[in-house]
Structure 1
């Protein structure tokens, strides 16, 4: 049985994951995975973003509890999505949830495993509960978001591999 992450729901709406082998050390892949502000270099949907300031007035750096605002664009639509870092195990496991734990909509998780001199990177997308837009527009919107997540996940893994192997 896998470990439950903060905000766990017993019956997620749906999930998808995919793995890729990367000819680069775990530490190099880890640096990419935890650099949310660079995701615009690899994602087919995310164009970048910024760390929010915490209660101490300092910008987040990717630690558990830090908030990041991702800027996304697809099919001519642009939107921002706040995420909260919920897991960080150095060089092994990094996860964040869209809407933060308050709204707990989508879990994005990156798990790294050594593979010889390289790394196996697994990216997972778990729809924990429907967003207000999904509730408003129904199954068509859910299917649209799931399709986007799959294509974005595949593009992100392939682009991270290409960037890491340069």
Structure 2
């Protein structure tokens, strides 16, 4: 009986921010995947290859690569990509854009339900080795990173205006 309470693992999170720019402007910035290095807390490099791109990521002393495939490219509405590492499915990252008066309500989301069966265990082990983040803490870490990402996106859009 005693001991810490057990909490259920969180498999998806989202964060939102309203920016004073039209959806098309926000979408153009997000769809230029090379610009992720400007606002992401982890991405330090991007190598675009058509509908796919390789992300080079870093957290403290950990560095890892991901292969991403753009799965939603709906200008002014949504941009999303599926992430794999070593051929193993990891997660979907995306951005939904909703007009809000003169600006845009930007929602960044992450869904980690692509990991299944034995691949899930391998992908989670690799995730721990490469990012230093245990699976149970991944959602909280991603939520905090999303807040920073959205703030940096807004600042980048303001600077470019």
State the TM-score, normalized to the length of structure 1.
Answer: 0.76
C-alpha distance in 2 between matches for 1:150 and 1:13: 11
Structure 2 match to 1:134:
124
Does the 8 Å contact 2:88/2:123 carry over to 1?
no
Q: How does 1:83-102 map to 2 (within 5 A)?
A: 83-99=68-84
Structure 1 unaligned runs (5+)?
1-11, 53-59, 61-65
Q: Which runs of 5+ in 2 are unaligned?
A: 1-8
The residue that corresponds to 2:4 in the other structure is none
Q: 1:31 to 1:131 in 2, by over 3 A?
A: farther
Q: Give the corresponding residue for 1:117.
A: 102
Separation (CA, whole Å) in 2 of partners of 1:147 and 1:42: 18
Give the SS at the match of 1:91. Answer: coil
**Residue 17 of structure 1 aligns with which residue?**
14
- Structure 1 segments, 4+ long, off by >6 Å, are none
Secondary structure in structure 2 of the residue aligned to 1:165: helix
1:155 aligns with 2:148: yes
Q: CA RMSD in A?
A: 2.3
Cα offset for 1:131? 6.1
1:48 corresponds to 2:45: yes
Instruction: Give the paired residue count.
Output: 141
SS in 1 for 2:134: helix
- Distance in 2 (CA, whole Å) between partners of 1:89 and 1:143 is 32
TM-score, normalised on structure 2?
0.78
Instruction: Note if contact 1:133-1:141 (Cα within 8 Å) is conserved in structure 2.
Output: no
Contact kept in structure 2, 1:22 and 1:165, CA below 8 Å: no
Q: 2:63 aligned with 1:78, yes or no?
A: yes
Higher helix share: 2
String of CA shifts for 1:120-146, please: whole Å, max 9, x gaps: 000001112236241466xx6203433
| Cα pair 2:78 2:97 within 8 Å, conserved | yes
Query: What residue number does 1:35 align with?
Result: 32
The structure that has the greater radius of gyration is 2
Question: Given that residues 90 and 123 in structure 2 are in contact (C-alpha distance below 8 angstroms), is that contact kept between their aligned partners in structure 1?
Answer: no
